[in-house]
Chain A
């Protein structure tokens, strides 16, 4: 739907833009930088700071004829008596804007002088220095001396923790309200506000705990001064001292683009250290935002507990050894077995790592298994996202169905963009066993009892049965279905994926541009594992018996005591990991792997976008990239695999898998201009998000196998009943995952292992709120804290993943008060 174009002239330069464009944006498009503070291109303008005052002239219209007046062959232009704010004024035909005239420049200079009257002289100690819009615009537009007497400056609190992750300096704040408006408009959590008035206007937080939002870090990026700083980076480094590397966040399946800033530090023996993780602009994935987990949970890679050397088991003890010795031992064992060989891989591995693992399994006739409690990837590879569908652009033409997921906690940037899509007119349907945050924006909410996930989706096939949601789906032009694993295990989620696939097929959306099935995976590259041909196995306990087990990037023994016991029956165990885990403690050989920040590779996001990540810091100790270790192992056992160049592995992937045929490291590194302009000279406009110069990534084509709906046997899910308490696995954003726990600044958000019940359920099972009880699950007893929430259905208890209690499917539990 194209809008009518409007032509105008800005500082002598003609420009044509769609009607409704604001003057400040029209100017930016032709390289004219009208200074702004309160305006942000992703938010509604407010015209508060008055920095963008420009002279605006409009064609004079004759009152009687209604026609523009012509004088000397040109339109007669009348300039307003007052300057107007470019950020609140839309363009109009024939308009003339003067942003560089003396009148405009004087006004801009005067506003800077006003802003600096009570702004503290903090530049030498302020984190924002070097990437500060106020500094930059002062140099550009301000005067060199201030006429404001220093002692009169308003003194206010300088170290106010708004929450535990963001600190506020009240003196530096210029009351632009960008932080408040970001929370109100974009996030939908109005946890910040103004308090008091006039010169004493302050930012306060209205939530308990303070600044209760998982997107709080973004306010530090868009703050035009150093008022909002992050606890992670506060007093960390100067922007010009740091180097940057383009990377991808690995905490969930969204695949947000990041820039890792590093600096060589004397205090770390001259090592390059990661100072902070910043968003990198990709308007198709995360726009210019990051969630706080992606921003702050990076400390695991530098953690001293990382494995630095290979370990081998000698006389029942693991001791350090050399790569040569470890590879010899492991490779020889591998060479001895065929078909008695299992690879168990975690979804945080890169595409290249997974390809080599699969090639190794294929080469020896072994099995390549994905360690995951969530299935259905065989469907997403066939009817997942293809072409360039962009959550940031869908509107009334698209129906989005989110089922079995607490999207806010599982994929924050999808939550954010789907919420905005719904506000733009997309039809949002949320189906869940319990109330979740996204429901606020849904046109239709479907509440099912845990266990009824698949039948609920099947009921949406028939638009004539009377369900409003079904009608919305049937009449939608595009249908995007996102399915999760809230309350589901491997079999349940696979069955749900199948039901969703059936829905897409029956409504004729499967495989069409604009429609998709998306898995809300728990790891960054689960989708990549499915693309590489990995399979899941619901019962691993029987799989290890007398086999050679090669476990990479997952911790089955730590997750489940039954799997720990099963692992002890294996013939030989090779573990490739970042840290010592319960699993690695049972290994014969432990091989130290590099963190993703130490090497290059690529991930496939849940939207099937392949994106490259680049090394930010040198490898820790003697760790090597996962794909290189696998290749070395293979060589020991007589199989040649690529072990040096990740680029070459990607070429092999493109050769083998048709859906990857357009993918190469070169094509993944392509960039195109994005809007809004961010970073560098545009720090004042879009914020301190980094511009994307290293690659936007590419979507995979759909894999052309036929979707086989009859291959699965129908799965009967456990259902709650009054006599037994059913524990339901759920996800929380901040958990005790191995890549999250080392970030101590997040510990207040992680909390203790807890069980959440409806208050009535707690009474019925005779447990007290806040008390610690003994929970028995699959024969193992653990202590948990009891919490209540009225949104939890009766007879179920929510038990989060990765909090120290092994739950990966609904299970009956016993509770005992202690």
Chain B
């Protein structure tokens, strides 16, 4: 199928400006700026059914329409903090199809009346940031950024901004705090960024993949995009496949493709043909799905995966086979969240620390007071109390792992293991 996002797989040199332009690049931006009203652009995106690709799946056009028009200026921030374990899709877009992404940023800026837009990249992406700076400079030289664009009064400037190694800065309000030079910790919500964002001004924060869809939607139309995918989840998604598969990597597929197709057709099946035991569909921030045929044949879209008791999230599909212990898996997720917890709220700060010590003892076979029931209890105790989603998500692999795979836990009176 012809790619919409990973177009470099069809057109290898598309990261070069002239190649991108030869393939229709920036025509959508020009059309939008010269012949459309900002509100109309938002309507097209609304009609397309595009949902946020960063994990929350919030309808993009709806988010743009929430911008407070009594408070100016407006900002657009592209969230390139990509830190979810198992997610590596935004990186490929920015490395290999950067101009389509930047054009998406530009169109969204026009749609919400912003004259300044930022790309917030995780600190580890400093090389990528330098590369994007070069791309932005090329766009400026080509009069695609700056004042009086395409002979209109519209002006736009783009900047990159680097984080410094914190997963929490992918949370949109923590991201904004980080951009403002403060500690990257989430704000109280409400208010949400479209009312009170960067420097207190209305701001749209969108994921890189989300924005990269926008030029194609404006070129080919909302109906075209809506026809792809499923009724509940329109368009295509980049699935970052990893784990015990033969061919890990990013795969651009329409929503509704099944797990079976992704794992066996795209991913070349499981190493040494082992059976699939579990899938983590949203990286470390998922409930772990216990796999059977029904699961494998489930279409991958937000609604269907949710029926399995999990979230599709950012579609970082980590595949686990029977050579992997779920107890080991959650020892990794717990370590990750404990390291990344910002420390602002009590349950996440103390709960993750506690879970880490419990699972460490369990893994080391030192479990006397530490045991599976206690770990499950602590995880559940954190739920519905945290200030932001990090704390909540930190519990999901733990709770689902223990409840659905009790045999993998040795320090327990439930299922196998000593005592």
Contact = CB atoms under 8 A, between A and B. Distances in A.
Q: Specify whether A and B are partners.
A: yes
Interface of A: 45-51, 53, 81-83, 88, 107, 110-111, 113-115, 117-118, 147-149, 152, 154, 174-175, 194, 196-201
24 contacts: A45-B188, A46-B188, A47-B345, A50-B347, A53-B385, A83-B384, A107-B385, A110-B381, A111-B347, A111-B385, A114-B381, A115-B350, A118-B353, A147-B377, A149-B357, A149-B369, A175-B344, A194-B183, A197-B166, A198-B340, A199-B349, A199-B353, A200-B343, A201-B343
Contacts of A149: 357, 361, 369-370
B341 A113 contact: no
A637 to B, nearest CB: 70
B354 interface: yes
Given A147-B374, A149-B370, A48 B340 contact: no
A113 B339 CA distance: 21
Given A111-B347, A201-B349, A152 B357 contact: yes
A50 B386 contact: yes
A117 B350 contact: yes
B411 to A, nearest CB: 13
A198 B341 contact: yes
Contacts, number: 89
Contact of B343 (A82, A83, A175): A175
User: Which of the listed residues A46, A50, A51, A83 has the most CB atoms from chain B within 10 Å of its own CB?
Assistant: A50
Nearest to A195: B183
Contacts of A174: 346
Most buried by A among B183, B340, B352: B183
Main SS class of interface, B: helix
B378 to A, nearest CB: 8
Contact of A51 (B346, B374, B377): B346
Nearest to A202: B343
B214 interface: no
Contacts of B351: 114
Contact of A198 (B346, B353, B361, B387): B353
A23 to B, nearest CB: 14
A171 to B, nearest CB: 13
A46 B347 CA distance: 15
A47 B387 contact: yes
Interface of B: 166, 168, 183, 188, 338-347, 349-354, 357, 361, 369-370, 374, 377, 381, 384-387
A49 B345 contact: yes
Q: Which 3 A-B pairs have CB atoms at the shortest separation, nearest pair first?
A: A114-B350, A201-B343, A152-B357
Contact of A81 (B354, B384, B386): B384
B374 A118 contact: no
B354 A117 contact: yes
Given A50-B347, A50-B386, A152-B354, 5 more contacts: A117-B350, A118-B353, A149-B357, A198-B338, A198-B342
A118 B183 contact: no
A114 B355 CA distance: 11
A198 B349 contact: yes
A173 to B, nearest CB: 11
A200 B347 CA distance: 15
Contacts of B386: 50
Contacts of B369: 147, 149
A644 B343 CA distance: 61
A151 to B, nearest CB: 9
B343 A198 contact: yes
Nearest to A107: B385
Contacts of B381: 110, 113-114
Nearest to A110: B381
- Most central of B166, B183, B349, B377 by chain A CB within 10 Å: B349
Contact of B353 (A46, A49, A81, A117): A117
Contacts of A196: 343
B341 A199 contact: yes
Contacts of B166: 197
Contacts of B374: 147
B188 A88 contact: yes
Contacts of B361: 149
Given A83-B385, A149-B370, A198-B339, A114 B347 contact: yes
A197 B385 contact: no
A147 B387 CA distance: 24
Contacts of A199: 338, 341, 343, 349-350, 352-353
Interface centre among A110, A115, A154, A197 (most CB of B within 10 A): A197
Contacts of A81: 384
Contact of B352 (A115, A175, A198, A201): A198
A194 B370 CA distance: 31
A51 B346 CA distance: 8
B353 A154 contact: yes
A198 B347 CA distance: 11
Contacts of B339: 198
Contacts of B387: 47-48, 50
